[in-house]
Amino acid sequence: MDSLKMLLLKESQQHHLSLQDASLETWHDLLSRVVQKKISTNRIAKDTYATQLFYFSMEFLPGRFLRNNLDHLGWLDQAKSFLSTYEIDLHDVLNTENDPALGNGGLGRLASCFLDSMANKKLRGHGMGLLYEYGLFKQEFLSGRQIELPDRWKQSSSYEWEQKPDAEYTVSFWGKVHQHNNGDRLVFEYTDQEQVQAKLYSIPITGYSQEQVNQLYLWKACPTEIDPSLTAEQQLLKRKKATEITEFLYPDDSTSEGMILRLKQQYFLVSAGAQHLFTLAHRHGGIRTFFNHYLVHINDTHPSMIIPELMRLFMDVEGLGWDEAWAIVTTSVHYTNHTLLAEAMEKWPIVLFQPLLPRIYEIIVEINERFCRSVWHHHSEKRDKISDMAIVSYGHVHMVHLAVIGSNKVNGVSTLHSHLLQTETLVNFAQMNPKKFTSVTNGITHRFWLHRVNPALSDLINEAIGDTWLQDPFELIKLADFQTSTPFLEELSKIKKRNKQTLIDTTLTFSETKVDPGSLFDVHCKRLHGYKRQLLNALHIWHLYTELRENPDRLPFPRTFLFAAKAAPGYAFAKKVIHYIHTIASVINKDATIQGKLKVIFIENYRISLAEQLIPAAEVSEQISLAGKEASGTGNMKLMMNGALTIGTRDGATIEMAEHAGEDNMFLFGANAADTKKPYFSKSYYDKDIRIKNVLQPLVNGTFSDNAIYSDLYYSLIQNNDEYRLLQDFSSYAQAHKQIELLYTDQLLWQKKSLANIAASGYFSSDRAIEDYQARVWTSI
Ligand code: 26V
């Protein structure tokens, strides 16, 4: 077998590259190409006809590829040593790779963690998404304000996406549907349609064994063939209308044009994907046995039009009757819900939907009518609920209802979230068909989020319990035996210190603020959203600051609060919170009277490669959403796995983390989900707690600026009755922080609790989540 060195030399000769003066990017390209070739030869050898799962998602956040693949091929050490003969550091080469930021947050990263676990568990499971030209925006701060810059992630160093020339499909929008009888079957014809070409790209997803190489399939929208009858201007317009479909992730949908573009994206993904599955089905035994060969999973409601699109293909193209088509679709499709927030429940105005997707709309109307009729006849107890459960009602198409009605299984992503889904949000559906609903608590790939991002900790674990945990994360529980071993706990502490220093040297060097590596690192990293309550953290920091101004000795050690978060471009409140955090940071960080006891840093441009640095350095993990709002959270698991102690509410998967690690190894506080149903009057908390008054007054009394720059934050909390109940939890949050401070002075006990968290984190591996999906949802693979 050729060594990596031989392959690199061969490849460089073929491309006439001189390795002596190759740039880091050139090295990256070269390594990528060799790795790709190696993986594709493995792939050909392993193809089988077993059932395949297609995981449809608008988001994927795979992180950088090259490092993962070198590791999986067992080539990391060879690469390091070969490059060092040219005085090149492999790290520098790997760092040139841009993150494919084809996602927004937890939803996208979950999809990528699942792909990793499926490949490692040798399941045939592929991703199906869109190849966005621009990733999620690049965030910069200008005078404390977020500005959004385009993320041209493909333009510089990137991993090569392979185009599949035999997979091209036409996706059609608008136009008129004409149907007529041709003998015994209906024939559909369309006129005046706008057509777009879908081209397929893919990247292999590997696991350690190399026995199963899966694919992340991404579609790119291109114009169909040039029509010579069009003027140059018309051709340009045609090109724009096609390419804009896969230009951006989540284009602004505050206008009708924006909504149409979103709908086009969603339909484009499912139509191209479904046509591809039909092509594969025809190759492998025909479409009538579709469900023996293919499973479709929809990641949230964005791809739920796969249901009417499959119906269209089965009926209009293949000539199946409704009942047979419906039976196949509702056997093959499964749906995961990822949020209960009303604002994220997708619904589209019929006036936009119907003209854009006329045939899909017809099919949805038929699904809806059949569903409503069956409720009327078979669930008479729900007759008065029909309009609330309908897909088409109140002038809108309700995508959650479509997804539920057309899926075989529906699941939430934590025990609490699934419970709320079944007892509140989707209660009528769950009562009618309880067996359809299940729960699968999310998970994260421990190979990436522990072994890869925290190699020192991974080595320590290997020394202690061997390396079988890499394939069986439940093995991590064996670490609990080391809770009484002082040398082990001291080693754990040293690793955390080194990770903190690395973060300081790599990421925080760009900050003007000097951070003490001996300070307690408290990390709040996730999307910026009202319900995630970054503002609660910030208000508490201001409270801590006022205490320190009175008595800097109140804290025996310094604390550093680190934030990293992107706000949706149109979300004014979230952007204001970013600005507020910058403002308090600038006051606190330069105030000499507090003797450096407190530092606040907002790190720019949160993304996977930053999370890789930040999470291993965290000592405290902020999981402080309003109970009942965070469906699961996955950052909570990543931080736990890296030994951070959680300060958190009883929300999402944090509840289950406490069950596994023990409540006394966490700092739980605040109202629970049931409490949040009780009446609430924020002003009463303001009136009775002087600390709250003291932190809120500066928002409006000119402390930070002459104009009322933060009055909107103030009004949201007082006049608008504090939708996310920050004031209700302020006191218990402050109390939990006091407990953190107390515990941190006993380093051995701190490390013991940290180890308890790492040991209990195996349950939160996506390997376990995938096993649960196999047992409860995808029972045929
Ligand atoms: C909804 C919308 C609606 C309008 C604008 C753009 C947009 C983008 C994404 C979404 C779906 C949000 C769903 C989501 O990301 N949920 C998160 O899923 C994670 C994985 O299950 C979970 O850990 C988080 O708790 C949950 O917030």
Percentage with pLDDT > 70 across the chain: 99
Residue nearest to atom 16 of ligand 1 (CA): 338
pLDDT band for position 286 (cuts 50, 70, 90): confident
- DSSP-derived 3-state class of residue 513: coil
Angle of the 4-14 helix axis to the 76-84 helix axis, nearest 10: 60
3-state secondary structure 673-724: CCHHHCCCCHHHHHHHCHHHHHHHHHHCCCCCCCCCCCHHHHHHHCCCCCCC
Pick the catalytic residue: 72, 138, 401, 527? 527
Map residue 603 onto helix, strand or coil. strand
* Mode of pairing for the β-strands spanning 396-398 and 392-393: antiparallel
The answer to whether the CB of 653 falls within 8 A of the CB of 414 is yes
Which two tokens mark 632?
């699961």
Is 441 inside any structural domain? no
Phi-psi category of 596—alpha, beta or left, where left has phi over 0 and alpha has psi -120 to 50?
left
Is 250 within a domain? yes
Shared domain for 264 and 391, answered yes or no, is yes
Domain co-membership, 461 together with 362: no
Q: What range does the domain containing 534 cover?
A: 453-678+724-767
| Six-digit token string for 611 | 């999370």
What is the spatial distance between Cα 705 and Cα 35, in angstroms, rounded to a whole number? 55
Residue located via tokens 């690690």? 661
Predicted local confidence at residue 713, as pLDDT: 98
Q: Which of 634, 646, 649, 654 is catalytic?
A: 634
Report CA(630)–ligand 1 centroid distance (Å).
Answer: 9
Reported as half-sphere exposure (CB side, CA atoms, 13 A), residue 480 has a value of 15
pLDDT at 1 over 60: no
Strand partners, 514: none
Best CA proximity match to 636, nearest among 656, 624, 654: 654
Would you say 547 and 585 are in contact if contact means Cβ atoms under 8 Å apart?
A: no
CA 719 – CA 692 distance, rounded (Å):
15
**Residue with tokens 């009618």, as numbered in its chain:** 432
* Contact between residue 121 and residue 768 where contact means Cβ atoms under 8 Å apart: no
Q: What does the alpha-carbon distance between residue 473 and residue 477 come to, in Å, rounded to a whole number?
A: 8
Q: What is the pLDDT of residue 292?
A: 83
Give the span between the Cα atoms of 106 and 444, in whole angstroms: 10
| Same domain assignment for residues 397 and 512 | no
**What is the per-residue pLDDT across 150-207, written as a single tens digit (0 to 9) for each?**
999 988 666 778 888 889 999 999 999 999 988 878 899 999 999 999 999 999 999 8
- Give the residues across from 438 on adjacent strands: 411
Q: What value does the mean pLDDT take over residues 731-735?
A: 98
CA distance 540 to 532: 14
Does the pLDDT of residue 240 top 80, yes or no?
yes
Ligand 1: residue whose CA is nearest its atom 4: 344
Angle at 758 between CA 755 and CA 763, to 5 degrees: 145
In a domain, 542, yes or no: yes
Pick the residue with more confidence: 20 or 40? 20
> Is residue 526 annotated as part of the catalytic site, yes or no?
yes
Kindly give the distance from the C-alpha atom of residue 109 to the centroid of ligand 1, in angstroms, as a whole number.
Answer: 11
384 shares a domain with 310: yes
Q: 476 is written with which tokens?
A: 């991590």
CATH number, domain of 274, equals 3.40.50.2000
Q: What share of the chain is helix, strand, coil (3-state, %, to 5)?
A: 55, 15, 30
The single-letter code of the amino acid at 768 is R
Give the closest residue to 309 by CA, choosing from 267, 352, 369.
267
The fraction of the chain above a pLDDT of 90, given in percent, is 88
Residue 721 Cα to ligand 1 middle (Å): 25
Domain count, the chain: 2
The burial of 256, by beta-carbon neighbours within 10 Å (0-12 exposed, 13-18 middle, 19 or more buried), is given as exposed
The pair of structure tokens assigned to 237 is 């317009």
Q: Is 596 exposed, middle or buried (0-12, 13-18, 19+ CB in 10 A)?
A: middle
- Residue 158 is predicted with a pLDDT of 66
290 exposure class (CB count in 10 Å sphere: 0-12, 13-18, 19+): buried
Average of per-residue pLDDT values in the chain: 95
Q: Report how far apart, in Å, the C-alpha atoms of 661 and of each of 362, 482, 646, 657 are.
A: 51, 15, 11, 6
pLDDT given at position 251? 86
Q: Tell how far the Cα of 707 is from the centroid of ligand 1, in angstroms.
A: 35
- What is the C-alpha separation between 456 and 472, in angstroms, rounded? 19
Residue 145 is assigned to a structural domain of this protein: yes
In-domain check, residue 241: yes
Q: Are 202 and 166 in contact (CB under 8 A)?
A: no
Tell me, yes or no, whether 26 lies in a domain: no
Active site residue 543: no
DSSP classification of residue 159: P
pLDDT > 70? residue 46: no
Is the same domain home to 391 and 496? no
The radius of gyration computed from the CA coordinates of the chain, to the nearest angstrom, equals: 27
Name the residue with tokens 């490849």.
11
* Residues with a CB atom less than 6 Å from ligand 1: 104-107, 110, 250, 300, 338-339, 344, 413, 442, 630-634, 652
- 52-56 and 185-191 strand pairing: unpaired
Q: Which residue, 371, 386, 407, sits at the end of a domain?
A: 407
Residue 185 pLDDT: 82
Does 695 map to a domain?
A: no
Same domain assignment for residues 273 and 210: yes
> What pLDDT is recorded for position 655?
98
Query: Looking at the predicted structure, is the pLDDT value of residue 48 above 70?
Result: no
Helical ranges in 333-414 per DSSP H:
350-356, 358-378, 386-389, 399-406
What is d(CA 547, CA 160) in angstroms, rounded to the nearest whole number?
54
Rounded to whole angstroms, the Cα distance separating 240 from 238 reads 5
| Distance (Å) from CA 526 to ligand 1 centroid | 12
599 is a catalytic site residue: no
CB-CB contact of 139 with 146 (8 Å): yes
Residues 516 and 384 in one domain: no
Q: Structure tokens of 356?
A: 């854009």
CA 651/CA 627 separation, integer angstroms: 5
For residue 331, give both structure tokens. 């056997």
Which residues are CB-neighbours of 605 under 8 A, at least 6 positions away? 138, 139, 140, 566
Cβ atoms within 10 A of the Cβ of 472, count?
Answer: 12
CB-facing half-sphere around the CA of 111: CA atoms within 13 A: 31
Helix axes 4-14, 24-46, angle to 10 degrees: 110
Tokens of 125: 């499971």
Mutate to test the pocket of ligand 1, among 104, 399, 764, 773 (most ligand atoms within 8 A of CB): 104
Q: Are residues 631 and 748 in the same domain?
A: yes
Q: Is 178 a catalytic residue?
A: no
Q: Return contacts of 149-157, CB within 8 angstroms, 24+ apart.
A: 151/101, 153/98, 153/99, 153/100, 153/101, 154/98, 156/25, 156/96, 156/98, 157/24, 157/25, 157/28, 157/29, 157/96, 157/97, 157/98
Averaged pLDDT, 264-285: 95
Which amino acid, one-letter code, is at 263?
A: L
Measured from the CA of 631, which atom of ligand 1 is nearest? 25
Are the C-beta atoms of residues 178 and 191 closer than 8 Å to each other? Answer: yes
Per-residue pLDDT at 45: 46
Residue from 112, 114, 338, 764 whose mutation best tests the ligand 1 pocket (most atoms within 8 A of CB) = 338
The pair of three-digit structure tokens given for residue 163, joined into one six-digit string: 């185009």
355: exposed, middle or buried (C-beta count within 10 Å: 0-12, 13-18, 19+)?
middle
Tally of CB atoms within 10 A around 318: 17
Segment 115-138 shows an average pLDDT of: 96
> Residues 312, 359, 436, 532: which is the catalytic one?
532
Q: Which of 72, 334, 338, 752 is catalytic?
A: 338
| Beta strands at 176-182 and 294-299: parallel, antiparallel or unpaired | unpaired
CB 54 within 8 A of CB 126: yes
Task: Report yes or no on 362 lying in a domain.
Answer: yes
pLDDT of residue 603: 98
Say whether both 152 and 281 belong to one domain: yes
pLDDT, tens only, 327-345? 999 999 999 999 999 988 9
Confidence band, pLDDT 50/70/90 cuts, at residue 208 = confident
First to last CA, the chain: 34
- 188 to 175, 179, 240, 267: CA distances (angstroms): 12, 5, 28, 19
Say yes or no to pLDDT of 227 above 90: no
Element (DSSP H or E) covering residue 196: strand 194-205
Tens of pLDDT, residue by residue over 489-524, are: 999 999 999 999 999 999 998 888 999 999 999 999
* 516 shares its domain with 585: yes
Task: Based on the fold, state whether residues 375 and 464 are members of the same structural domain.
Answer: no
Catalytic, 634? Answer yes
Question: 403 alpha carbon to ligand 1 midpoint, in Å?
Answer: 16
The residue among 407, 426, 443 that closes a domain is 407
- Name the residue with the closest Cα to ligand 1, atom 3: 344
- Of 626, 61, 624, nearest in space to 639 by CA: 624
What mean pLDDT comes out for the span 376-404? 97
- Per-residue pLDDT averaged across 537-541, rounded? 99
Same domain, 184 and 287: yes
**Which residues fall within 8 angstroms of residue 538, CB to CB, at 6 or more apart?**
577, 580, 581, 584
550: which 2 tokens? 């009175």
Residue that terminates a domain, selected from 407, 435, 467: 407
